[in-house]
Structure 1
């Protein structure tokens, strides 16, 4: 359990209620950082220590999640950070686009926090075992 405590998640959503829900579900097991805009997410992701995983909303004003992911994956400093999209845009085109941009998963909204916690844990385990 202490190893999980060291993992850092970046939660990105423009809706404060979604951030609060995710943060309250994940902060017991992980370090969490939050951003309510794409620009802030890029800023936080570039800082040390880098997040181990990013949960990223798609539909945000100014810069949507697709653009954020594209910029993260284009930057050698952040391209290794796994991204999971969280979105109410539950259609095959959005899923395909998100995965093509380099996301490792796509979770539909409204989110089930129990399932999000399971997905995050499993993805972090998978990432850890592939880097060993």
Structure 2
């Protein structure tokens, strides 16, 4: 019998800043993850409606069109998406407490975050 080949975990990066989004995508791909990207919450919901569910969502809060707050609300209301682990990242340090109370993410990282902390969090949740 042939050994089973584990598929790499899939991560959806939802971030409006092009440089941050591309850097995260490259970093995660270099770590062996399959990466998809969206520039706002609406784009992320569109992606999720026609793609296999990712292993994890890395979500910025402040974005145009649909911010992370509205995306997370829609995600939690959809049974198909609600159980996907979500790591919220934000430059607003004051968002930490409010985010934990209102959005109940699996983890919160304040920008700028340490890459080792990010990778540790992702590996723990995947």
Calculate the TM-score normalised by the size of structure 2: 0.87
Q: Does 1:122 align with 2:99?
A: no
Structure in which a larger fraction of residues adopt helix: 1
State the partner residue of 2:60.
57
Show the 5 A alignment for 1:73-88.
73-88=76-91
RMSD between aligned residues: 1.5
Deviation at 1:76, TM superposition (A): 1.2
Aligned residue for 1:43, secondary structure, equals helix
**Structure 1 residue ranges without an equivalent (≥5):** 125-132
State the partner residue of 1:128.
none
Show the 5 A alignment for 1:28-67.
28=30, 29-67=32-70
Structure with larger Rg:
2
Number of matched residues?
A: 120
Aligned residue for 1:106, secondary structure, equals strand
Calculate the TM-score normalised by the size of structure 1: 0.83
Aligned residue for 1:14, secondary structure, equals coil
**Structure 2 residue ranges without an equivalent (≥5):** none
